[in-house]
Amino acid sequence: MPAKVDTTELPARTTGAAARLAAAHAAEHPLKLYGGWFCPFVQRTWIVLHEKRIPHQYVEINPYNKEPEFLALNPRGLVPTLAVPVDEEKKGKKRRPLYESAVICEYLNEAYDDETKYGPGLLPKDAYERARCRLWIDHISNKIIPGFYRFIQHTPEKEYSIDEARANFQGHIKTLVKEMLENENEGEESGPWFLGQTFSLVDVMLAPWAKRLFLIDHYKPGGLGFPAAGQAGSDEEEKVWARWRKWFDAITSRQSVKDTWSDDEQYIAAYKRYAEDTTQSEVAKATRKGEKLP
């Protein structure tokens, strides 16, 4: 079971835009999302619910001090957890849990596929393109995100340097961006997303960490070190970082991303212990051990 740690320094609830969204989804509903406001994996799920306009109830919990009722639903005790109504009338008389944010997001995309009600799907209809998206979702989940935590949890006594953490993280970002560039038609104005003009789950999977990148600039010596326009050192590197900025500006301006975000100051407080490498979250502990993230 995840360790219980003191979270009294942190706000107990969402703030800002996320608080308004949570209030709008506070009423009882058969489909329930259990989440913690500062968790990026929760934000992934919340973005999909927002994008698809899926009716639901948002339930804020303390992921470090879980109530027995929540653990009865999900003994693993991790957020996000989606409580899915499985009774015949879908009234919530009986619910079963789903967890793992990528799994939940794919479930919501498949289960709520009526485009007249829930908007366009977030994965391509073409089987190959759908599989390609899943490959790059895997890259995000198993390369970029672990690189983010390895970077922000760096402290001087680590066996790797801050420059190594920075280069590692930048390399994983560039690998993703090069895939975007390779699939654009030369001479055409591309859209900002992984799939050009089409917003997809690939974009959703990285969005919460894109919003949190400012924390590395805030806490780590030398910050992200992403080159500004004209400072990348070569034409090829300029193209890569220009495409990154295009994607980054689009994702951080996306309404579903903004509406699931609390005030910046709350994240600065929440991630201080990551920057000091003292937090006892399951993600942080896995990062210290060099293990796969939970």
Enumerate the active-site residues: 39
Output b/e per residue, 224-257; b: 16+ Cβ within 10 A: bebbeeeebeeeeeeebbebbbbbbebbeebebb
CA proximity to 241, closest of 170, 182, 147: 170
Q: Are the CB atoms for 126 and 69 separated by under 8 Å? A: no
Bridge partner residues of 193 (DSSP) = 196
Alpha-carbon 261 to chain mean position: 11
Residue 198 Cα distances to 117, 190, 250, angstroms: 18, 10, 12
Residue 66 Cα distances to 10, 74, 133, 254, 262, angstroms: 16, 10, 34, 32, 21
Place of tokens 């990348």: 232
Residues 6+ apart with CB under 8 A from 293: 141, 145, 146, 149, 283, 286, 287
State whether residue 286 is helix, strand or coil: helix
State whether residue 247 is helix, strand or coil: helix
Residue 73 main-chain phi, psi, to 5 deg? -75, -40
CA 83, CA 97: separation in Å to the nearest integer?
5
CA proximity to 46, closest of 91, 83, 80: 80
